[in-house]
Amino acid sequence: MKQRSWFQKHAYALAFSLVLTVFTGYVLLDTFVLPSAATTSATVVNATTEVTTEVTTIQTDTTTTTTAQTAQATSTTDTTTDETAATATETETQTTASEPVITDNSYVGNGVSITIDTIRVSDTTVYVADIQLTSASSLLTALAQNTFGTNITQTTSTMAEANNAILAINGDYYGANKRGYVIKNGVLYRDTVRQGDDTEDLVIYADGSFAIIDETEVSAQELIDSGVVQLLSFGPALVENGGIAVTTSEEVDQAKTSNPRTAIGIVDDLHYIIVVSDGRTSESDGLSLYELAQVMQQYCCVTAYNLDGGGSSTMVFNGTVINNPTTNGSKITQRAVSDIVYIAA
């Protein structure tokens, strides 16, 4: 057998070494010498640099914006703090301002101003409440025991207390009759027309204005539809269009000429006069309807209406009965009635 030469024995190793040398040379040239690769590499680096710069700029801007936002937030916080402090001061001022000023004969606050004068008319003590409101919603009525029906009664002071009334007077005593319109606080309780000749009522609209109506000429539902929220059914009308509407001899049914009286009237928008007189005592004779009308006119009422009187006549102011209610003069005490008219804060 012919032996192979050294070259033949190591040909594959030599070939592999050559290939490896060439490859290593290419890698070294590619890494350190060939410009195309370097150019491509440089582009990538530039792109990376640009991206990095852009990101840095954005981050810088973001940081600047964040700083600005922080400053703005701080400013807003300061402003909010100032506004909160201002609001607190304003609230405190409003709270202080909303606290009513109350004396024995006056009340001012919460949209209500009341001054009560005590005068003498025809040997009778008369209590005149001059009332000015900012909202008609302060002029309300209430039912005894908060219930509609006949012979359901409470004293005026009891109802006044139950409804937190600043000022209250007895109403029309609707419960003494089985007929006649009854509208209280916008609710229609009864729609049957009153019997007899006395069918004149006082209606109060949602805006606080007054009108005299005749039950025979308009239905109760029509009154509701027209905006009536209160109806007082006793009478008669004392003053209409600024003029006295009763005669010197006119009286309620067969009542005495002089009696304790209760009346309500309007001067102008949300300005009201309420009058209660004593009577049937040695200190006070009482008033006739005409004398009562004169008082209402004296206080500039353009419309005024007579309410239930006699032993029912009662005025309560800040929880105190200020007149001298009596049925026969032998005892000063309140009569229990069906309803009240009152002023609320």
Distance CA 141, CA 139 (A): 7
Listed residue (102, 164, 140) closest to 272, CA to CA: 140
Residue 257 exposure: Cα atoms within 13 Å on the Cβ side: 6
Distance CA 144, CA 47 (A): 91
Distance CA 131, CA 124 (A): 22
3-state helix, strand, coil in the chain (%, to 5): 35, 30, 35
CB 251 within 8 A of CB 289: yes
Distance CA 204, CA 179 (A): 20
Q: Which two tokens stand for residue 256?
A: 């005495």
Listed residue (128, 122, 123) closest to 283, CA to CA: 123
Residue 335 exposure: Cα atoms within 13 Å on the Cβ side: 21
Determine the pLDDT at residue 27. Answer: 46
Distance CA 184, CA 193 (A): 16
Mean pLDDT, each 10-residue run in order, the chain (345 residues)? 58 68 54 39 35 36 42 45 48 58 97 98 98 98 97 97 98 96 98 92 98 98 98 97 94 76 98 98 96 98 97 98 93 97 96
**Residue extents of the structural domains in the chain:** 101-343
Distance CA 24, CA 18 (A): 10
Q: Which two tokens stand for residue 249?
A: 């001899």
Residue entry with tokens 């027209």: 226
CB 306 within 8 A of CB 341: no
How many residues are present in the chain? 345
- pTM score of the predicted model: 0.73
Distance CA 345, CA 165 (A): 8
Distances (CA, A) of 331 to 288, 311, 325, 327, 338: 22, 10, 9, 8, 21
Q: Per residue in 174-190, is it b (16+ CB within 10 Å) or e — as a string?
A: bbebeebbbbbeeeeeb
Distance CA 189, CA 181 (A): 8
CA 274, 280, 285, 288 torsion-angle sign: positive
Secondary structure of residue 343 in the 3-state scheme:
strand
